[in-house]
Structure formats: C-alpha cells, structure tokens
A and B are shown apart, each in its own frame.
Chain A
Amino acid sequence: MNRTGSTHGGLIVATTFVVALLLSMLPGPEWAERFRPDWVALVLIYWCMATPGRVGVGIGWLVGLILDVLYGSVLGQHALAMAVVAYIAHRLHLQMRMFPRWQQAATVLILLMINQILVLWIKGVLGEAPTLWPSLTSSMVGMVIWPLVFIILRDVRRRVQLS
C-alpha cells in the first residue's frame, strides 16, 4: 500500500465528501427534493471502488453518522446504511472496475436502493411513516448521473495520483 502522500490523499477524499455533503444540504425547491441524488453515497461508492485500501466500512459509517447529525435523524440510521453500502462496494470493487459503464451504473442503482431501503426499514421500525417513491426517484437520478460522478472523481484521483 502506498503510504507516501497519504495525508494529502486523505485530504482530497475528505474534500470530495464535504462537497457531496454540501450538495445534499443545499436548499432547493420542495418539488426538486425527490430528484436530489444521494451525493454522499455516490462519492462513497466511488472511493470504495477505486481506493478500497483507503475508504471502507469505517469511513462509510462515519459519513453516515455526519448525515444523521445534519438531517437530525435518529443517530445511527444513515450510519448503518452507509456502512452496509460501503461494505458491498468494497467487496465488489474488483468486479465493478471491470464492468462496462452501464453495468456499473446498474450496480450503483442497486447499492443506492439498498441504502434507501435500509433507511426506510429503520424509519419504519422507529415508527416514522416512510414514503417509498421519493427514494426510488432519487436512486434513479443517482444512477443516471453516476457516469458523470465517476469521470469527475477519476480525474481528481488521477491528478493527485491516489490509489
């Protein structure tokens, strides 16, 4: 594992997460809310796939916890879902790298839906009435913009020579 420039690389990864968090917090019109993709999950999936030695279950959990704090949801619900997503992406990273772009996008869709469904389950257990459709549209939008996210983050990674 390449330890040189590790803190620098960590900083870059952290920056992309911060940008993703900002994108998911930016206030927008009510009707657009259901089309807002889960930026944080997309970024997490990318880093799990591209740099599995650096980003994994622990980082996923931490980012999920931050989401919980930002959304004011019950602490741990996004953390749990994100940890699961990170784990699966981590396990599949070799295959995902080999997939053609569309198949990669389909895998991302499945991961995003797993994330949403886990959060919905937890909400349901805690007695909040969850609604399914907004999360589904959000996942679809996530799949559609995945190639874009992939290209941008790949360029970032190549520029700082992160592996």
Chain B
Amino acid sequence: MLSITNVLGRVNGRPSAFSRLVVLVAVSVLLMVFDYRGQQLPQIRATLSALVYPLQVVAALPVRFSAWATELFVSERTLREQNAALRNERLLSQARLEKLEALEAENKRLRDLLGSAARVADRAVVAELVEVSLDPFTRRIVVAKGKRDGVYLGQPVIDAFGIVGQITEVGLFTSKSTLITDPGHAIPVIVNRNGLRAVVFGSGAPDRVNIPFLTPSADIKEGDLLVSSGMGGRFPPGYPVAEVVRISKDPNEAFLEISAKPTARLNYGKEVLLIWPDERKMAGSLAK
C-alpha cells in the first residue's frame, strides 16, 4: 500500500524501493509530459533554478579567475598594441556611424513623407476604370464612382505610386478624371530634395509632364522626385507626382526646359484610388 508518507521515505514501515521507484518514474513521466507540452511548469523551474544558481556561480568562478589573471599578467607592450588596435577600430566605427546617421535622416524624411501621405488621406475608395479617352490631346479616364458615392469636383485621384489626376466631371454613377498628363492640367509641387516650388503641367504625351518657368539658376537635377505641395488646396501634400528625367539648358531661353515622368502608373492597371483628404490637414498645410 502506497501513501505519501511512504513515498517520502519514513523510517518505520518503509515501502519497498521498487514501489518508490515506480512512483518516481511515474512522476518523472508526468513532469516530462507537462514540460514538453509547453506548460513549461514555469514556477517549478524558476524555483529550482534559483536554488541551483549558487552552483552555477561557483562553476563559473575558474573561468572568471583565469580571465582576471590573464589581464593581470599581460605585458605593457600587449596593452599598447591592443590600445592602438582599438583606436583604429573606433575610428572606423565612427566613420560608419556617420554614414549611418545620414541614412537615418534620409529614412526619417522618407518615413515622414509616407506618414503624411497616410495621415492626410482620411478616406479612400477603390474605383474601377470604365473608359480611357483615346484622344491624343486630352488625357482623361472615366471611373465607376459618382455622386452617389460622394465623389466631388476636384477630388484627387491617386494610385499606389503617386497622383493620377483630379475629378473634373461628376456623374451619378461615373465620373471623369483629368490626368496630370493632360495638357490643360497643372499641379503645384515641391522638389522633395530641397523644397523648391514648381508647377507640373501636362504635356499631352502619355508618360511625360513638363515643368516650365524654372530659371537656369534653380537647384533641380535629373532624378529629383517632385511631390505635391498641397498649395492650392486641391491635392493633399506629400504625394509623389513625377521624377525629373531631362533638363535642357538653352542659352537663348529665359527658362529651363524640364520634362519629368509621372510616378503614377497612368497607363497600367484597372483601378485607381479616390481620396477624401482631411480638411483640417489641408488647412494646416495651406497655413504653412
């Protein structure tokens, strides 16, 4: 007959060693099952760990002592060499760190850009394209959202990569949007690199926009990203619009001839996004 007192091994009436073995093996198996099943028995393990911690400290002592001893008896020359090596390493690390800081600043700026884009757009709705104008001198699309969906005149239209255009005609179920490549369209932008203000005009070509009225002294380079400035109160600030691809300086002209490529994929895809910018944010960007 087994009982707890027997298992604990009282002197009188000890159970046979075998029965204790059976009980302990059963307990072990239970422990293993619980431990393995992820119950982890955290309290038991933590308590036992605390109990054996002194053992671990003592076991680690020889290693600590040998490290301390080697440091104690190391020669001055070795120390000098080590010092020099560490100095060099520090210099290198410093240089790397500076680079890292520049990258971090850039990252922050980009994040801000993304963040503002995400913040400004209060609400967005995916709109399907139903018609694309084939007239080479007007760049328009028709989307399957209308007055019924809350579409309003002048509403910004974007896609995943940048600004597509704005709504210029609202029907009950569909609306017409003029693209930024339309010759009659203009959008105020800033150069993302330095904040230089400009206006992007449509060219009529499907993948080109123009930036006129910039003097030769303007700080603008090929590859510069132009983002919407929010001025004029129609487009929310911070959305990518176009990337400068060519700048030609003609000494006879007063202005640069700059062409850029829209970042939005105007000729691809079947959907665009209609956004309802946050009124307060727009007002704030105007006040700035």
A residues neighboring B (CB under 8 Å): 1, 18, 21-22, 25-27, 56-58, 61, 64-66, 69-70, 74-77, 79-80, 83-84, 87, 90-91, 122, 126
Contacts and interface: CB of A to CB of B under 8 A. Distances in A.
Nearest to A26: B59
B32 interface: yes
Contacts of A65: 48
A26 B32 contact: no
Nearest to B21: A87
Nearest to A127: B36
B25 A83 contact: yes
B32 A126 contact: yes
B48 A83 contact: no
B233 interface: no
A90 B17 contact: yes
What size tier do the contact residues of chain B reach? 20 to 34
Contacts of B27: 61, 76, 79
Contacts of B52: 21, 66, 69-70
15 contacts: A21-B52, A22-B55, A22-B59, A27-B62, A57-B21, A61-B28, A66-B52, A69-B49, A69-B51, A74-B35, A76-B31, A77-B28, A79-B28, A80-B32, A83-B25
Nearest to B47: A69
B218 to A, nearest CB: 66
**B contact patch SS:** helix
Nearest to A59: B9
**A contact patch SS:** helix
Nearest to A125: B32
Nearest to B58: A22
A76 B39 CA distance: 14
Given A27-B60, A56-B17, A79 B9 contact: no
Interface in B77-134: none
Contacts of B17: 56-57, 87, 90-91
Given A84-B25, A91-B17, A70 B55 contact: yes
Contacts of A1: 11
B41 interface: yes
B56 interface: yes
B29 interface: yes
A58 B32 contact: no
The 4 A-B pairs of least Cβ separation, nearest first, read A76-B31, A80-B28, A76-B28, A25-B59
